[in-house]
Chains A and B, each alone.
Chain A
Amino acid sequence: MNVVHGRDHAGDLEVSTEVVVVGSGAGGAVVAATLAEAGMDVIVLEEGGHVRPEEHARMRPSESLRHMWRDAGFTLAFGVGRSPMINVMMGRCIGGSSALTGGVCFRVPEYVLGDWRALGLTDFTPEHLEPYYAEVEENVHVEDVPLSARSRSTQLFGEGAEKMGFSLESMRRNTNGCVGWATCNFGCPERAKMSVDISYIPRAMKAGAAVYSDCLVERVTTNGRRAVGVSGRVLNGPNGAPGGRLTVRAKRVVLACGAMFTPLVLKASGIGKGSGQVGKNLTLHPAFRIMARFEERVAGWNGALQSAYSSAFEPDGIQLNSVFVPPAILAATQPGIADDHVRRAKTLEHLAIFGANLHDEAGGVVRRGLGREPFVTYRMAKKDAAAVPKALRIAGETFLAAGAKEVFLPVLGLEGFSPDEFRKIDLEKISPKRLECTSQHPLGTCRMGVDASSSVVDDRGQTWDVEELYVTDGSTVPTSLGVNPQLAIMTLATRFAQRMADRRPS
C-alpha cells in the first residue's frame, strides 16, 4: 500500500472511516499504527507532501527546507515586551517534525511528572509510564549515542566541562546504523534515524491504514456534542493550492497537527471555548547556540549531530545540548561583508558549537493569523530571561576552559570575543530582543488536565467539549518539559491510543 498523494487526486475527496487521524507526525503516526493494529479502520491525513526517506536522504539542507519544513523554515514567534523573536522550526511532510529532529529521546524528567501530578494528573508516575516508554523505545530503536560518535566539537565542550566541574552524559536517540553525517535535521543519508515515517507509518499502513498527503484539514465536524468527521481542502489546485473539498466522515477524530495547528483547527470548529485555554500556554524551549573558535581543526560535522548533554544547570532552567550543523548553515552565522565575511567563513572548520535550551514557563499564545498560518506571540518569563546570560556565560567559559581562542554569542550584531573580552562583558546588559533564538519544541497549547475549566483534554486525550474528539500531539503536554519532547509525545500518544483501542467508537 502506498501513500495517496492528494495533489494527484482530481476534484473533491470524500471518504468514510472509523477513525480519522489528522497529522502524521510523532503524535498521529503512533495513534494510527496502534488503532490500525487493533483492527480499526484508520485514515491518516497530512497537510504536507510525501517525500520518501530515500529522497530526503539526497536533499541538500536548503532543499529539505523547501520540501519538508513548514514555511520553508521561516516561521516566527513574535517576542512580546523584552522577549526575542524566535524562529520556530516545524515539519510539514509525512512524518511531521519527527523526520526533522536530531533524534534525541528523553523520558519526561521525574520533577516534571511531579508538576503534572500536582495538577491532579496523578497517574503520571515513572512506573505507570514505563510500559509505554518501553514500547515506543523498542519501536523506534532508542539507543545510547556511543562516545565514539561524539564530534570533535562535542569532545572539546566535554573537555571544558570537566575542567569547569560538570560532565556530559550520552544522549539517547532513535537511530539504527548512524555513522555521523550530522545532517539529521535535513534528512539522513543512511536512513538511520527511525523517525515515524520510517517506523510507525509503515506499520500503520501494513495494518491497513490509508495515508493521504496534501490534505488540509480546516475543521472538525460535529453532531451535537460528538465529533463525526473533518472537513477541509485537498491541495490539488494549481501549483499545490487548495483545490477540491475534503470531507471525511468518521466515528472518531484524532487531532495531531502539532502545538501550532491543533488549536487553530479547534478554534475554527468552535471547540474548547469554555476553558479559554485553546492556543494558550505555549512553551518553546527557547534555544541558543554558542560558538567558539579553536586553533585546531574541529570539523564538527564529523560525528553525530547531537550526542551529549548536561543537566547540571537544570535548577537554573538550563539544559546544555550538543549540536552541530552542516557547513552551509554554519556559514550563515558568520558576520562580515566581502573579505571580512569570506575570511571568517574560511575558518568554519575551526568552530565548535554547543546549544542551550531553556526550561521555559508557558509564555506563548497561538492565534489565527491571516491565511493559513498561525500568528504566534511569546512573552519570555523573567525567570527565563534571567537564565539566558547565565547559559551564555556557562557555555562560553566552558569553551574557554577547553582552549577556545574566540567565543561567539548568539546576539545580533556582536563580533567574536577574545577570552579577556568575554570575561569582561556584562551579559546581563544584553537586551533579550537582540538574541538569535530558535525553537523546535512547541508544546502545551491544548493542555491535558483534570477539569474542563483549566484544560482542553482529559487524561485520555479526549476533549472536554466534544466526545470522540481526541488530541494526541505535543499540544497536550501540561507543562514545559525542559527536554527534547519527541519521546514524551510518542509515549503519551501510545497511552492515549491504547485506551482508545480498548473501546471501539460506536
Chain B
Amino acid sequence: MPPEVDAEAHPLVATPSILAGKRNRLPGPAGERRPTGAFPPRSLETMLAMAEAVFSTSERPLPADRLEYLRRELPDLLNRAAPRGRLMFRLGTFAISTIAPLLIGRLPPLRRLPLDVRIRALRKMEASPFVAALIAVRAVLCLVYYEHPDAAAEIGVRVGPNGRLG
C-alpha cells in the first residue's frame, strides 16, 4: 500500500488520484501538451522494456501497476520537451533498442527479448562505449519511477504524515 500522505500537500511522490490514473489536477490541462512530434509509441515501448529490466530484481519482476504508471507518466513528461529534446530521446532509445541486443549477439529490438536476456544486454551496454544513451534514458526512467510511492518506499524513502521525508 502507498504510504498515507496528504494528497493535497505532497510534493515528492505521486498522489493516490494520479496512481489511479486520473488526470493530474496540477496545471496540466490538455491545452499544455504540445501537439507536434509526440513521443512515438515504439520509443515508449523500448523505454518500458528497459524499465522492466532496470527495476526488476531476482526476488520480483517489476509490479504491473508501476509499469502502467510509467506508461502514463513518461509520455506526459517527454511530450513537453522541445522537438530537439524529443529527438535526442528517440535517438537514445533507438540506440538502446538496437545496440544492446547486438552486443550479446541477439537480434534487435530489445523489447522483444525475454527479461533475463534484456538485463544481460543492458548490462553489456552499460560497460560499452555506448553507455551515454543508456544513462540518459535510465535517468528519466528513474526520475519518474521513484516518484511512485511504493518504489520510493522500497528504497528506504520514508514519507512522514506531513509529506516530509524522514
Chain A contacts of B127 at CB under 8 A? 413
- Contact, CB under 8 Å: A327 / B152: yes
Given contacts A74-B82, A346-B155, contact A327 B165 (CB under 8 A): yes
Q: Which of A65, A329, A337 makes the CB contact (< 8 A) with B123? A: A337
- Contact, CB under 8 Å: B31 / A74: no
- Contact, CB under 8 Å: B142 / A348: no
The reply on A429 being an interface residue by CB < 8 A is no
Chain B contacts of A187 at CB under 8 A? 11
- Contact, CB under 8 Å: B31 / A342: no
- Contact, CB under 8 Å: A58 / B12: no
Given contacts A335-B126, A413-B131, contact A348 B156 (CB under 8 A): yes
Q: Identify the interface centre among A55, A72, A333, A436: most chain B CB within 10 Å of its CB.
A: A72
Chain A contacts of B78 at CB under 8 A? 72
Q: Which of B76, B80, B123, B157 makes the CB contact (< 8 A) with A348? A: B157
Interface string of B1-43 (1 = CB under 8 A from A): 0000000111111100000000010111011111110000000
CA distance A56 to B34 in the complex (A): 20
CA distance A65 to B81 in the complex (A): 9
Interface string of A172-192 (1 = CB under 8 A from B): 000000000101001101000
- Contact, CB under 8 Å: B35 / A338: no
The reply on A369 being an interface residue by CB < 8 A is yes
- Contact, CB under 8 Å: B82 / A371: yes
Chain B residue at minimal CB-CB distance from A348: B155
The reply on B132 being an interface residue by CB < 8 A is yes
- Contact, CB under 8 Å: B31 / A240: yes
Q: Which of A66, A369, A370 makes the CB contact (< 8 A) with B77? A: A66
Given contacts A74-B81, A370-B83, contact A326 B131 (CB under 8 A): no
Q: Which of A49, A71, A328 makes the CB contact (< 8 A) with B81? A: A71
The reply on B146 being an interface residue by CB < 8 A is yes
Q: Which of B24, B53, B83 makes the CB contact (< 8 A) with A337? A: B53
- Contact, CB under 8 Å: A74 / B88: yes
- Contact, CB under 8 Å: A332 / B138: yes
- Contact, CB under 8 Å: A7 / B31: yes
Chain A contacts of B139 at CB under 8 A? 332-333
Q: Which of A329, A338, A349, A412 makes the CB contact (< 8 A) with B53? A: A338
Chain B contacts of A239 at CB under 8 A? 30-35
- Contact, CB under 8 Å: B152 / A57: no
The reply on A341 being an interface residue by CB < 8 A is yes
Chain A contacts of B150 at CB under 8 A? none
Please provide the chain A residues from 343 to 368 with a CB less than 8 Å away from any CB of chain B in the complex: 345-346, 348-349
- Contact, CB under 8 Å: B119 / A181: no
CA distance A302 to B157 in the complex (A): 12
Chain B residue at minimal CB-CB distance from A67: B27
CA distance A327 to B145 in the complex (A): 11
Interface string of A238-249 (1 = CB under 8 A from B): 111100000000
The reply on A372 being an interface residue by CB < 8 A is yes
Interface magnitude class on chain B: 35 or more
Minimum Cβ distance to chain B for residue A254 (Å): 25
- Contact, CB under 8 Å: B143 / A369: no
Please provide the chain B residues from 144 to 166 with a CB less than 8 Å away from any CB of chain A in the complex: 144-147, 152, 154-157, 163-166
Interface string of B47-60 (1 = CB under 8 A from A): 00000011111100
Chain A residue at minimal CB-CB distance from B55: A342
Chain B contacts of A181 at CB under 8 A? 11, 164
Q: Which of A62, A76, A346 makes the CB contact (< 8 A) with B88? A: A76
Chain A contacts of B166 at CB under 8 A? 299, 302
CA distance A337 to B82 in the complex (A): 29
Given contacts A61-B143, A74-B88, A413-B135, contact A331 B35 (CB under 8 A): no
The reply on A167 being an interface residue by CB < 8 A is no
Please provide the chain A residues from 49 to 91 with a CB less than 8 Å away from any CB of chain B in the complex: 49, 51, 55, 57-63, 65-67, 70-72, 74-76
The reply on A421 being an interface residue by CB < 8 A is no
Given contacts A62-B77, A328-B147, A338-B53, contact A240 B33 (CB under 8 A): yes
Given contacts A62-B143, A71-B85, A327-B152, contact A183 B36 (CB under 8 A): no
CA distance A175 to B2 in the complex (A): 32
Q: Which of A60, A71, A240, A372 makes the CB contact (< 8 A) with B147? A: A60
Q: Which of B10, B14, B35, B126 makes the CB contact (< 8 A) with A241? A: B35
CA distance A372 to B37 in the complex (A): 14
Minimum Cβ distance to chain A for residue B88 (Å): 7
The reply on B73 being an interface residue by CB < 8 A is yes
- Contact, CB under 8 Å: B138 / A302: no
- Contact, CB under 8 Å: B12 / A60: yes
The reply on A420 being an interface residue by CB < 8 A is no
Minimum Cβ distance to chain B for residue A305 (Å): 13
Closest CB pairs A-B (n = 10): A74-B85, A332-B142, A328-B146, A332-B139, A239-B35, A413-B131, A72-B81, A71-B82, A331-B146, A345-B155
CB<8 Å pairs between A and B, sample of 29: A58-B9, A58-B10, A58-B11, A65-B77, A67-B28, A72-B82, A76-B84, A189-B9, A189-B11, A239-B32, A239-B34, A240-B34, A241-B34, A302-B165, A328-B144, A328-B152, A331-B145, A331-B146, A337-B54, A337-B122, A337-B126, A341-B55, A342-B155, A345-B142, A345-B155, A346-B156, A370-B84, A413-B126, A413-B127
Knowing that A57-B11, A331-B155, A334-B142 touch, tell me 6 more A-B residue pairs with CB under 8 angstroms. Answer: A7-B31, A65-B80, A66-B76, A327-B146, A327-B165, A338-B55
